[in-house]
Chains A and B, each alone.
Chain A
Amino acid sequence: MSKFGLITKGLLKENPTFVLVLGMCPTLATTTSAINGLEMGLATMFVLILSNIVISLIAPVVPDKVHIPVYIVVIATFVTLLQLLMQAYTPEVYETLGLFIPLIVVNCIVLGRAEAFACKNSVGDSALDGIGIGLGFTLSLTVIGIVREILGSGSVFGWKFIAGDGILAFVMAPGAFLVLGYLMVLFNKLAKR
């Protein structure tokens, strides 16, 4: 696959949210507004790129039997790094995303890419794969966030253009499932054409 293909495949063909349906918990929980979705996507991308790089480096020397625990420790290390960085530089964002930052450890996308790609490809390709899948994830979360923010509070990225409260259910739990469901339908419809 070309270098360019590695980056763009995450957007449509191997979109982690709509096609692979991985990492649903942060997708549903943090997309109450467009900006939250974007921040969660970027945070996941950070861990994804770094863990992909390190795992592609260490994969040849890790015994097969213990590879999953080793990968999880690598991922957990970068998540802890991210936690400390965010606490230091963006404490408000850390506060909003809350529990879902440490939960990047068990995000199936990160471990999934380690298993499916990083452990058998070169460092450069793995980094590009991390960027590509990370971009796809960020894009999906932002789109879901935009839809929920428009319906739920009548604004986009905090810019309010519909007066009033909006449909509160879309900011709460049911809206997350409904919006994701309908966006998947739309994605299927468009992808098949």
Chain B
Amino acid sequence: MEYLLIIVSAIFVNNIVLAQFLGVCPFMGVSSKLSTATGMSGAVCFVITLATVVTYLINKYFLVPLGLTYLQTIAFILVIAALVQMVEIVLKKISPSLYQALGIFLPLITTNCAVLGVAINVVTKEFTFGDAAHMLNLGEATVYALATSLGYGLAMVLFAGLREQLAMNDVPKSFRGLPIAFITVGIMAMAFLGFSGIV
């Protein structure tokens, strides 16, 4: 039951882009075509989940016992950068076709603040799902990371669909490009506000 709450909360109620403002730059950057948006969502999903699990373990079994929690930011960003690099190398060997499809998006993920944001959130914040506020355990953290990145994918794919339609419309000159995109996201965020209160 608690896992269900985590999933619904992370995908709809506290959507990572539309409610928490994480990963907005790549969200804006690669959402102009549905196919690239899907590719990017897949890559981000994979990296967020993997990075959260690895940084969670490093934090719990290395930084906390040694009293080095102030090094979290540096340690986490290095882990994420190394992880992205590793995923890139492994993917190149195992599935060249997927590597080709994701291509340029993979290295970009290092600077996607959604990855670092979720990793830091999971180890520093207390979450309330159902009962009292508590720190997440490894299982919950994994589900939270996976659900959050699915929420990222959902928002990205929905928005890419809207943007493809927008591109065919006659938009006033000053609104063209990013301004109209931001206003559209604003309206989307308003729609997602409707989910608040269900968890």
Contact = CB atoms under 8 A, between A and B. Distances in A.
B15 to A, nearest CB: 9
A107 B180 CA distance: 23
Interface in B82-118: 110-113, 116-117
Contact of A103 (B19, B28, B113, B175): B113
A180 B120 CA distance: 26
Given A28-B21, A28-B24, A173-B189, A178 B183 contact: yes
A181 B73 contact: no
Interface in B175-199: 175, 178-183, 185-187, 189-190, 192-193
A186 B182 CA distance: 13
B70 interface: yes
Nearest to B72: A102
Contacts of A188: 174, 179
Interface in B43-77: 70-74, 77
Nearest to B112: A106
A25 interface: yes
Contact of B190 (A28, A174, A192): A174
Contact of A178 (B20, B117, B186): B186
B18 A173 contact: yes
B182 A180 contact: yes
Interface residues of A, number: 41
A102 B121 CA distance: 11
- Interface secondary structure of A, over-half rule: helix
Nearest to A75: B77
B183 A177 contact: yes
A178 B182 contact: yes
A76 interface: yes
Contacts of A185: 174-175, 179
A175 B77 contact: no
Contact of A177 (B111, B112, B175, B186): B186
Contacts of A106: 77, 110-113, 116
A193 B17 CA distance: 34
Contact of A105 (B21, B22, B116): B116
Interface of B: 18-25, 28, 70-74, 77-78, 81, 110-113, 116-117, 120-121, 174-175, 178-183, 185-187, 189-190, 192-193
Q: Which 10 pairs of residues, A with B, have the shortest CB-CB distance?
A: A181-B182, A177-B186, A178-B186, A181-B183, A29-B21, A24-B24, A174-B189, A174-B190, A184-B179, A76-B74
10 contacts: A25-B21, A25-B25, A73-B74, A77-B74, A80-B74, A106-B116, A173-B193, A180-B182, A185-B174, A188-B179
